[in-house]
Amino acid sequence: MAKILIVDDRQVNREFLMTLLSYQNHHLLEAGLATEALAIIYAERPDLVITDILMPEIDGFEFVRRIRAIPAIAATRVIFYSANYVESEARMLAAACGVEYVIAKPAEPEQILSVVQSALGIEAPPAHTMPSAEFDRAHQRLLIDKLAEKVNELETLNASLEQRVQERTTELAAANERLRELNAFKDNLLMIASHDLRSPLGIIQNIAGLILDNPATPETTRRAVQTIMSSAEQLNSLVADILDISSLEAGKVVLEPIIIQVGFIVEQVIENLRYSAEAKQIHLSLEVSPTNLVVLADWHKLSQVFSNLIGNAIKFTPPGGWIAVTIKPEGEHICCEVADNGLGIPGEAIPHIFEKFQRAHPTGTNNERGSGLGLAIVQQLVELHGGKIEVHSQVGQGSRFRVYLPAIQ
């Protein structure tokens, strides 16, 4: 069993040799750099060193020169194991350093084992003094040649990469154009679908309304028609939400901002939703302080924001609960908070609550259903106004949605 040091800056090469030689029960050492290997040789005195030639900082020839320059380790046997430097001039330099064996990568395991056995059986090479000027010149020429080869390889690789980048750029441009076409097709399809859906939905709602308004309509029929009316309203709301989110994501929503008293617009939204709150015996309150707080906003879009937030609060608050809307200045913003004591949102769902089709709860406290798009629309509309929205919630204790809109300075 011999003590063998393997020197290679690539770990995969070291692992290969160490695995191979371990089957012969050799005591194996390893180093990634020549400077590290010199210290190991001096301390451990290995019987054999197997080293790469092309390495960072110090190449294999200079590494062996330094070994031979230290009397205590000058007789160390060395094998070159490299994918480079196998031509005659390299072998001449190897022999001048006292390196008899040069193994070219990749090599068969049997060849490597045979060379190692031969190297361990030969007499120790004589200690060499510093190489002559002729050796230095040959060494320098070889390094320059190898550098030129590497430059040529890099130039070839660079040309290949440039061609591949150009090909991928062309492919990407074609894919982007196709994506634009598909997006345009999707937008047109949504508009056509929404128009075609809204027309029959309107007819269904109108006819259902006439039947419900007729005093002679039997109660059983009235209940069935009321179900039809509710389903049509739900479908109509879903179509509207899909259109809104598609327009927002396509960047087609253009605000028409005017100076608005925030309290007034929220008060109107509450009046529109008060029947839904009273149907569940939910106490709905509004506090604005001071009452003349104004923002620059799109009336319809801001109304849509608060309709979604307050509507959601009603949906997920149990009968007999409360919803409190407060509006107040906060720094350079107007803070509009919608708080409730409803179901609350699980902690793991909060980071995704503003994503499309995300629902913290599948239905409301009275089995109300939604599209899963409302909060995604709210967030985009708020950000379109230069504001931001936050949510704080705890399961079983309710939620607080805070909308921050830039105040008029």
Instruction: Indicate whether 320 and 211 sit together in one domain.
Output: no
pLDDT score recorded for residue 5: 94
Instruction: Indicate whether 38 and 86 sit together in one domain.
Output: yes
- Helix 133-213 vs helix 88-96: crossing angle, to nearest 10: 120
Per-residue pLDDT tens for 305-360?
999 999 999 999 999 999 999 999 998 999 999 999 999 999 898 898 888 877 77
Domain end point (choices 250, 267, 301): 250
Domain end point (choices 230, 250, 270): 250
Instruction: Indicate whether 194 and 287 sit together in one domain.
Output: no
Structurally, how many domains does the chain consist of?
Answer: 3
Strands 398-406 and 333-340 come out as antiparallel
**pTM for this prediction:** 0.52
The CB-based long-range contact list for 379-386 (8 Å cut-off, 24+ gap) reads: 379/354, 380/245, 380/248, 380/249, 381/248, 381/253, 381/301, 381/302, 381/304, 381/305, 382/305, 384/248, 384/253, 384/255, 384/301, 385/255, 385/257, 385/295, 385/297, 385/298, 385/301, 385/302
pLDDT score recorded for residue 281: 94
Q: Give CA separation, 26 vs 5, 17, 53, 173, 298, in Å.
A: 10, 11, 23, 58, 81
Per-residue pLDDT tens for 186-217?
666 666 666 667 777 778 888 888 888 888 88
Instruction: Indicate whether 395 and 264 sit together in one domain.
Output: yes
pLDDT score recorded for residue 89: 64
What's the domain range around 383?
Answer: 258-406
3-state secondary structure of 180: helix
Does residue 154 sit within a domain? Answer: no
Instruction: Indicate whether 281 and 231 sit together in one domain.
Output: no
Q: In the structure encoding, which two tokens stand for residue 43, read together?
A: 């301390």
pLDDT score recorded for residue 226: 82
Q: Give CA separation, 409 vs 45, 158, 186, 326, 331, in Å.
A: 80, 56, 41, 21, 11
In 3D space, the residue among 106, 20, 90 whose CA is nearest the CA of residue 53 turns out to be: 90
| Gap between the terminal Cα atoms of the chain | 86
Determine if residue 398 is left, alpha or beta; phi over 0 gives left, psi from -120 to 50 gives alpha, anything else beta: left
Q: Residue 342 is which amino acid?
A: G
Categorize the per-residue pLDDT at 262 as very low, low, confident or very high, splitting at 50, 70 and 90: very high
Instruction: Indicate whether 216 and 331 sit together in one domain.
Output: no
Categorize the per-residue pLDDT at 128 as very low, low, confident or very high, splitting at 50, 70 and 90: very low
Instruction: Indicate whether 333 and 353 sit together in one domain.
Output: yes
